[in-house]
């Protein structure tokens, strides 16, 4: 949207008509995106492949073709751009995740999720750093200092929440989905915070004061980011409720929701907070309040438009990573010693697996100890899936690796080239191989997911809203949380079974008495003919 804003330094002489080469590459890219969607659709029924893997493979194939066409000189159609990723692609994905997440599931497991996401990432980072320090020193890969080792830890502690979204199903395995995905969001934030801390703190003498400062910094970031997201969401709800845009224009409502969601992310970036956390909570608040203040058509539009934007951004990222992977310049330094590169990648993969195992199983054990109801405990099979589903590394890792190892022109160093190519190798391998095996693994470990997972939701609504034409997941999750219009047995039973039900009940009371009258939500919008705000049964099934 605000594409040219980065061009500020570019003066008038750069304002000639757009470069022919960039038009060619945009055409190619849009055409490939279309191809990915069509092929992804055709492979829908396939039990191995998902859309991410398709996009990644198409991207790599395109890279190969470009390499061959250009005579082996370059596949330099694209260079991975951090800005593009963090400023334009990630926000819609994470916002949509917050917007469509089953809020009840998420908040019931909140403590476990934060433990996995924050503590787990620290453990994982520590183990990877330790392993790398021990092993790499003995190998011939050039000069790396303590800061680099810690950065490698942070880079490979960042799981790929985008890929997780495609591998797990919110309806088949709601508990697993909320745990793994929720962890992914917190983990993304933790990794970025960790990484920034590593780059800015003086690492030559680490003491308890710096450790405490680091912890305080993390806590501040977490709370401030969440608060900012909640505030922006509430502001949008309040604005739309007070002005009642629906009277005039669906377009205005949709535009305002979109812009304010994006504003929350950019504000967080401006204040050096975690935009990922902010936009995630903004999405949750918007789906809880704002979404119920708009007209019926705005609801359908936002629901599907956000999902579509997120979907396209996901495919875009995987296509992009795939095409970027073949960039010949990166591999030039590695080609004389392919053995080292393979060894480094293998070590990193092993450390990723060990680092994740080191926190998933102990933390699951602790989480199980705290729960009385046996249905709520995380079974061994589920633990293995949680461990496995978080092994994939994605665009966040690549972005962080570029940031660390291509700064201030020392790209030409052997060690940096090896780290970049190893990161790409790990990302490609983990996404394709681990990704391909996730669906079969789930089927093997949880033969009937509907029965083994706890708190199965009563209505078979899909989060990606693919089969239900009009009213889908977000509203259903709303009903699950509120659940007071029609006391449905399964919902009530689940509510009573959870130990957090008292917190829920207080929250609901607070929500009904104070929040909803101000910020809207289901049941408090004045009924205006022509703008139905009450839920209606979909006419068509």
Q: Which of 116, 402, 434, 519 binds a copy of itself (CB under 8 A)?
A: 402
Convert residues 518-537 into a mask of x (bound to a copy of itself by CB under 8 A) and - (unbound): -----------xxxx---x-
Burial, 195: exposed, middle or buried (Cβ in 10 Å; 0-12, 13-18, 19+)?
buried
By beta-carbon proximity to a copy of itself, the closer residue of 273 and 426 is: 273
By beta-carbon proximity to a copy of itself, the closer residue of 44 and 485 is: 44
Q: Which phi and psi angles does 137 have, rounded to 5°? A: -60, -35
Q: Which of 154, 197, 273, 307 binds a copy of itself (CB under 8 A)?
A: 307
By beta-carbon proximity to a copy of itself, the closer residue of 30 and 212 is: 30
CA nearest neighbour of 238 among 192, 285, 202: 285
Footprint of a copy of itself on 437-476 (CB under 8 A): 464-470
Question: Does 293 help bind a copy of itself (rule: CB under 8 A)?
Answer: no
Interface with a copy of itself: number of residues (CB under 8 A): 103
Footprint of a copy of itself on 41-60 (CB under 8 A): 41-42, 44
Chain Cα centroid distance, residue 520: 28
Helices (H) and strands (E) in the chain, counts: 26, 0
CA nearest neighbour of 399 among 321, 485, 304: 321
Shortest Cβ 230–a copy of itself spacing (Å): 18
Footprint of a copy of itself on 176-195 (CB under 8 A): none
Question: Does 512 help bind a copy of itself (rule: CB under 8 A)?
Answer: no
Shortest Cβ 43–a copy of itself spacing (Å): 11
Question: Does 69 help bind a copy of itself (rule: CB under 8 A)?
Answer: no
Footprint of a copy of itself on 208-267 (CB under 8 A): 239, 243, 245, 248-252, 254-256, 258-260, 262-263, 266-267
Convert residues 356-385 into a mask of x (bound to a copy of itself by CB under 8 A) and - (unbound): ------------------------------
Shortest Cβ 58–a copy of itself spacing (Å): 14
By beta-carbon proximity to a copy of itself, the closer residue of 42 and 146 is: 42
Six-digit token string for 536: 């209606």
By beta-carbon proximity to a copy of itself, the closer residue of 40 and 120 is: 40
Strand partners, 531: 528
Shortest Cβ 320–a copy of itself spacing (Å): 9
By beta-carbon proximity to a copy of itself, the closer residue of 44 and 145 is: 44
Convert residues 78-97 into a mask of x (bound to a copy of itself by CB under 8 A) and - (unbound): xxxxxxx-xxx---------
HSE value, Cβ hemisphere, 13 Å, CA-based, for 368: 15
Q: Which of 143, 208, 513, 539 binds a copy of itself (CB under 8 A)?
A: 539
Question: Does 298 help bind a copy of itself (rule: CB under 8 A)?
Answer: yes
Shortest Cβ 289–a copy of itself spacing (Å): 17
By beta-carbon proximity to a copy of itself, the closer residue of 23 and 492 is: 23
Question: Does 7 help bind a copy of itself (rule: CB under 8 A)?
Answer: yes
- Other beta carbons less than 10 A from residue 71's beta carbon: 7
Six-digit token string for 467: 């089969």
Helical H runs in 244-337? 250-270, 275-285, 291-293, 296-325, 328-332
Shortest Cβ 292–a copy of itself spacing (Å): 15
CA nearest neighbour of 526 among 242, 182, 113, 210: 242
- Other beta carbons less than 10 A from residue 528's beta carbon: 12
Q: What is the DSSP string of 437-461?
A: HHHHHHHHH-SSHHHHSSS--SS--
Strand partners, 528: 531
Q: What is the DSSP string of 140-209?
A: S-----HHHHHHHHHHHH---HHHHHHHS-TTTSHHHHHHHHHHHHHHHHHHHHHHHHHHHS--SS--HH
Question: Does 100 help bind a copy of itself (rule: CB under 8 A)?
Answer: no
By beta-carbon proximity to a copy of itself, the closer residue of 305 and 437 is: 305
Question: Does 16 help bind a copy of itself (rule: CB under 8 A)?
Answer: yes
Q: Cβ distance 78 to 329 under 8 Å?
A: no
Question: Does 27 help bind a copy of itself (rule: CB under 8 A)?
Answer: yes
By beta-carbon proximity to a copy of itself, the closer residue of 13 and 208 is: 13
Shortest Cβ 107–a copy of itself spacing (Å): 26
**538 in helix, strand or coil?**
coil
Report how far residue 284's alpha carbon sits from residue 96's, in angstroms, rounded to the nearest whole number. Answer: 9
Q: Which of 72, 409, 487, 489 binds a copy of itself (CB under 8 A)?
A: 409
Q: Which of 217, 403, 452, 456 binds a copy of itself (CB under 8 A)?
A: 403
- Other beta carbons less than 10 A from residue 95's beta carbon: 29
Report how far residue 194's alpha carbon sits from residue 354's, in angstroms, rounded to the nearest whole number. Answer: 19
Question: Does 414 help bind a copy of itself (rule: CB under 8 A)?
Answer: no
Question: Does 3 help bind a copy of itself (rule: CB under 8 A)?
Answer: yes
CA angle, residues 240, 245, 247, in degrees to nearest 5: 140
**464 in helix, strand or coil?**
coil
Footprint of a copy of itself on 309-338 (CB under 8 A): 311-312, 316
Convert residues 469-508 into a mask of x (bound to a copy of itself by CB under 8 A) and - (unbound): xx--------------------------------------
Q: Cβ distance 276 to 196 under 8 Å?
A: no
Report how far residue 520's alpha carbon sits from residue 516's, in angstroms, rounded to the nearest whole number. Answer: 5
């Amino acid at each position: 949207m605000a594409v040219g804003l980065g061009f500020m330094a570019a003066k008038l002489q750069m304002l000639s008509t757009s470069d022919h080469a960039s038009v060619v590459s945009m055409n190619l890219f849009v055409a490939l995106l279309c191809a990915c969607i069509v092929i992804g659709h055709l492979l829908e029924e396939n039990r191995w492949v998902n859309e991410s893997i398709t996009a990644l493979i198409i991207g790599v194939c395109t890279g190969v073709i470009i390499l061959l066409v250009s005579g082996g000189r370059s596949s330099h159609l694209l260079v991975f751009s951090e800005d593009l990723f963090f400023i334009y692609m990630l926000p819609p994905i994470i916002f949509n995740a917050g917007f469509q997440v089953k809020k009840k599931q998420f908040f019931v497991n909140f403590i476990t999720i934060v433990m996995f996401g924050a503590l787990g990432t620290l453990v994982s980072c520590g183990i990877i750093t330790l392993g790398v320090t021990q092993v790499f020193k003995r190998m011939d890969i050039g000069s790396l200092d303590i800061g680099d080792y810690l950065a490698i830890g942070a880079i490979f502690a960042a799981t790929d929440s985008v890929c997780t979204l495609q591998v797990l199903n919110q309806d088949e395995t709601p508990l697993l989905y909320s745990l793994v995905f929720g962890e992914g969001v917190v983990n993304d934030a933790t990794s970025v915070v960790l990484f920034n801390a590593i780059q800015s703190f003086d690492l030559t003498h680490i003491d308890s004061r710096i450790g405490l400062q680091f912890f305080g910094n993390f806590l501040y970031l977490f709370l401030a980011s969440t608060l900012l997201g909640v505030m922006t969401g509430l502001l949008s709800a309040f604005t739309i409720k007070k002005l009642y845009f629906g009277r005039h224009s669906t377009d205005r409502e949709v535009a305002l929701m979109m812009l304010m969601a994006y504003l929350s992310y950019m504000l967080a970036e401006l204040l050096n907070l975690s935009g990922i956390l902010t936009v995630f909570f903004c999405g949750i608040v918007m789906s809880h309040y704002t979404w119920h203040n708009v007209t019926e058509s705005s609801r359908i539009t936002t629901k599907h438009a956000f999902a579509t934007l997120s979907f396209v951004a996901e495919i875009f990222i995987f296509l992009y990573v795939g095409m970027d992977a073949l960039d010949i310049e990166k591999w030039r330094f590695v080609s004389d010693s392919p053995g080292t590169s393979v060894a480094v990648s293998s070590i990193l993969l092993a450390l990723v697996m060990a680092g994740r195992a080191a926190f998933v199983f102990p933390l699951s054990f602790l989480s199980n100890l705290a729960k009385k109801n046996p249905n709520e405990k995380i079974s061994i099979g589920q633990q293995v899936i949680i461990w496995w589903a978080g092994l994939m590394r994605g665009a966040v890792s690549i972005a962080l690796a570029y940031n660390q190892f291509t700064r201030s022109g020392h790209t030409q160093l052997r060690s940096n080239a090896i780290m970049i190519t190893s990161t790409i190798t790990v990302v490609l391998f983990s996404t394709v191989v681990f990704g391909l095996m996730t669906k079969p693994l789930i089927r093997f470990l949880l033969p009937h997911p509907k029965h083994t997972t706890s708190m199965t939701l009563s209505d078979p609504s899909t989060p990606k809203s693919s089969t239900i034409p009009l009213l889908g997941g977000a509203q259903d999750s709303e009903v699950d949380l509120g659940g007071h219009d029609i006391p449905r047995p399964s919902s009530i039973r689940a509510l009573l079974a959870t130990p957090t039900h008292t917190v829920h009940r207080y929250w609901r009371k607070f929500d009904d008495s104070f929040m909803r009258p101000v910020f809207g939500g289901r049941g408090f919008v004045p009924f205006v003919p022509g703008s139905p705000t009450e839920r209606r049964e979909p006419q068509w099934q």
